[in-house]
């Protein structure tokens, strides 16, 4: 099965983008994002939080440059989805570059490895573009962020 590249703009909706999030505890941010998934996609927040928190137990999902990418498999999804929290203050995730995290992107996939590994690699490549990371940090509204990602 061939996996096509998916841009972040295809995985996010304004309802799953949080800007200026005051809480910087890793578990709480993941739970907030799980609530957004549940609000838009149905089900209970714990259904979305559990695979993300399980993955986090294996090791930090921080990828550097102030970005964390908790991810997991959720068989009840029909297609991959993401939610993002841009934090007011950076928080401590164990990171490869010792830069505290201020962008948390939760990614859930219905099919798991190896398909989601390709999608995660695509997301990481997109985030390594300084303009994309800056768009997250400077967005004042979810709609503004989605608009910038679409450009």
pLDDT tens per residue, range 14-36? 999 999 998 678 899 999 999 99
Q: What is the mean pLDDT of residues 114-141?
A: 85
The secondary structure element, H or E, covering residue 109 is strand 101-109
Matching residue, tokens 């989605």 = 146
Q: What is the mean pLDDT of residues 71-99?
A: 89
Cα 50 to Cα 70: distance, rounded to the nearest angstrom: 11
φ and ψ of 126, to 5 deg: -65, -40
Choose between 48 and 129: higher pLDDT.
Answer: 48
Cα 101 to Cα 80: distance, rounded to the nearest angstrom: 23
Domain boundaries defined on the chain: 8-150
Report the CATH fold assignment for 8-150. Answer: Mannitol-specific EII; Chain A (3.40.930)
Choose between 118 and 74: higher pLDDT.
Answer: 74
- Terminal Cα-to-Cα distance of the chain (whole angstroms): 29
Global pTM reads: 0.90
The percent of residues in the chain predicted with pLDDT above 70, rounded, is: 93
Question: How confident is the prediction for the chain on average, in pLDDT?
Answer: 87
3-state secondary structure (DSSP) of residue 75: coil
Our answer to whether residue 78 is catalytic in this structure is no
Q: What is the mean pLDDT of residues 102-125?
A: 84
Cα 79 to Cα 59: distance, rounded to the nearest angstrom: 25
The pLDDT-based confidence of 149 (bands split at 50, 70, 90) is confident
**Looking at the predicted structure, is the pLDDT value of residue 144 above 80?**
yes
Burial (CB count <10 Å: 0-12, 13-18, 19+), residue 124: middle
Out of 16, 26, 55, 71, which one is annotated catalytic?
71
Choose between 111 and 144: higher pLDDT.
Answer: 144
Res 11: pLDDT:
92
């Amino acid at each position: 099965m061939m996996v096509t590249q998916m841009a972040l703009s295809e995985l996010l909706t304004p309802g799953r983008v949080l800007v200026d999030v005051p809480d910087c505890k890793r578990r709480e941010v993941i739970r907030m994002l799980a609530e957004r998934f549940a609000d838009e996609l149905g089900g209970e927040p714990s259904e979305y939080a559990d695979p993300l928190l399980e993955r986090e137990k294996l090791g930090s999902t921080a990828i550097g440059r102030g970005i964390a990418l908790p991810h997991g498999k959720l068989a009840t999804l029909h297609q991959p989805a993401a939610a993002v929290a841009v934090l007011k203050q950076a928080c401590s995730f164990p990171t490869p570059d010792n830069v505290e995290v201020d962008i948390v992107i939760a990614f859930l996939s219905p099919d798991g490895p190896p398909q989601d590994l390709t999608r995660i690699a695509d997301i990481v490549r997109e985030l390594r573009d300084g303009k994309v990371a800056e768009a997250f940090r400077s967005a004042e509204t979810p709609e503004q962020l989605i608009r910038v990602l679409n450009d």
